[in-house]
Structure 1
Amino acid sequence: MIERHHTSDRMSKIVKHNGVAYLCGQVGDGATVREQTEDCLARVDALLQEAGSDRDHMLQAIIWLADMADFQEMNAVWDTWVPRGHAPARACGEARLASDALKVEVIVTAAVK
């Protein structure tokens, strides 16, 4: 069975199937990469909780940065957010995001508890 949450014509924020939760890309508010990353990860936390999961159960994370020059600043937030010993498989790359104001987008897949 496939469960979809917060579904519109374009996308769902959460899709659950066979014990796995797939989250849509999350962006955050703020002027800096740090602020946007913190807000974005807070949104990931909320969606994980709603999906019946948490940071300890993350399987994969894909991170898009508007500029790879922001890699260290984003990682400073990421490294304190990820539970020690529970880091997901991760990829990070540079991409043009949906608006010029956006600096970071995070996509997470996690096992449901």
Structure 2
Amino acid sequence: MAVDFRFDKLSIRNFRGIRELDVALPEGMPIHLIGANNSGKSTVLDAFALVLKGGGMHAFTPEKFDFYHDAQGVASENFSMTLYFAANERRQLPAVQGVGNPIPVAGVRVLGSTD
């Protein structure tokens, strides 16, 4: 069976100005990001871009401003963004080949740390 999946949800944690955000990606519907200046629209797009080009040979070195800072200016020690996939059948998800049968992949995650 062919790979036939869609993006289902983007979850962002402790990235730039976003402490916690889940963006549903409904099938067949456009997504509109509307808000005032400095409200996080570009941060959502940057998170989406990072998770889509993560893995492989891509290297991303986070800067101090990439970590969420609370009202007292304390930075989080890590951040994450996860893009979840959905398919009608599990075998339609993209897969990685280990030893033996391919393993379906239900999402992609990017992690950042101060370590």
TM-score (ref. length: structure 1): 0.27
TM-score (ref. length: structure 2): 0.26
Higher helix share: 1
